[in-house]
Amino acid sequence: MSLKRACVIGWPVSHSRSPLIHRYWIKLHGIEGDYAREAVPPGDVEAFLTNIEARGFVGCNVTLPHKEAAFQSVRIADEATQKLGVVNTVFRRDGTTWGTSTDGEGFLANIASGYRGWSPANKRIAVLGAGGAARAIVATLIDQGAAEVVVFNRTLERAEILRRDFGTKVKPLPWDKAADALAETDALVNTTSLGMKGQPELDLDIARLPRSALVSDIIYVPLITNLLVRAKERGHPIVTGLGMLLHQAVRGFELWFGVRPKVTQELYDLVAADIEKGTAT
Ligand code: ATR
């Protein structure tokens, strides 16, 4: 059996925790494989992906700022990714280089792992932000039968683009309406960069949010954002961003190495410790 190698491409890429996650699974499953970091400058993405096999890789993850460029450079594997316009996972099949997005399923699987049976079906969900991360999450929530996805964004036009692309169950609202509009919300998801280490805090008042509402943040540095701290204090069920990062990695690993890995507490703790240390391993 020959050595199978995958990688993550980004610019910069040194902060990525994907090598830590995939190498953990490679070792756990006794796979003859490796997972590298590849710094690919903007403009070189297409050339890299076109020759991915010649470079010795069975596939890769794609991180910022290359997700759109990757979408343009590979054959898209499924309808959902086609609508999304971004790719975070690239793999080889039948002599072709394919791309897919696993962010939406990572988001859902993460919630389901903490709250078994939770589903967006018939729920009213508030999403903060309308950037790239929001796109995958809003698409998944609609696809899974959410009754309404209210998108609050500083730049309202970006929220309106989500409605155009994913349908009229998406309700764009201005950022300053968020606090008042939380009253009948079943789940709140932060997809903005507010609250991330080095960024301004997310100072949204959540006093009107029903206490049964699930609160989720996709930020994982810090591991527990200020929003999650405040939500926990009010008794809300909370879901961390690190869990989403781990769950989005599952399908890529399976596509490259042929084993569907599990997200365990041990893996969570390993990556959490690396994040708390401050520099990526
Ligand atoms: P990503 O791909 O990670 O989602 P992005 O596309 O830059 O990154 O999106 C960042 C999100 O955080 C956007 O919704 C952005 O709002 P705008 O669309 O108005 O830019 C939001 N965001 C960033 N800084 C913000 C701030 N200071 N106040 C409110 N929203 C902010």
Atom 22 of ligand 1: nearest residue by CA position: 192
Given a cut of 60, is residue 153 above it in pLDDT? Answer: yes
Question: Closest ligand 1 atom to the C-alpha of 200?
Answer: 27
Atom of ligand 1 nearest to the CA of 130: 14
What integer is the mean pLDDT of 161-178?
A: 97
Any atom of ligand 1 within 6 Å of the Cβ of 153: yes
Contacts of 255 (CB under 8 A, 6+ apart): 59, 89, 91
Q: Which atom of ligand 1 is nearest to the CA of 155?
A: 19
pTM: 0.95
Q: Is the CB of 65 under 6 A from ligand 1?
A: no
For the segment 72-131, what is each residue's pLDDT rounded down to a tens digit?
Answer: 999 999 999 999 999 999 999 999 999 999 999 999 999 999 999 899 999 999 999 999
Cα–ligand 1 centroid distance for 245 (angstroms): 19
| Region 244-262 average pLDDT | 98
Residue 56 alpha carbon to ligand 1 centre in Å: 36
pLDDT at 204 exceeding the cut of 80: yes
pLDDT of residue 279: 72
Query: What percent of the chain clears pLDDT 90, i.e. is strictly above it?
Result: 97
Catalytic residue annotation: 67
What confidence tier does 217 reach under pLDDT thresholds 50, 70, 90? very high
Q: Going by CA atoms, what residue is nearest to atom 8 of ligand 1?
A: 131
Strands 187-190 and 214-217: parallel
Ligand 1 pocket mutation pick from 153, 155, 161, 221 by most atoms within 8 angstroms of CB = 153
pLDDT tens-digit map of 31-75: 999 999 999 999 999 999 999 999 999 999 999 999 999 999 999
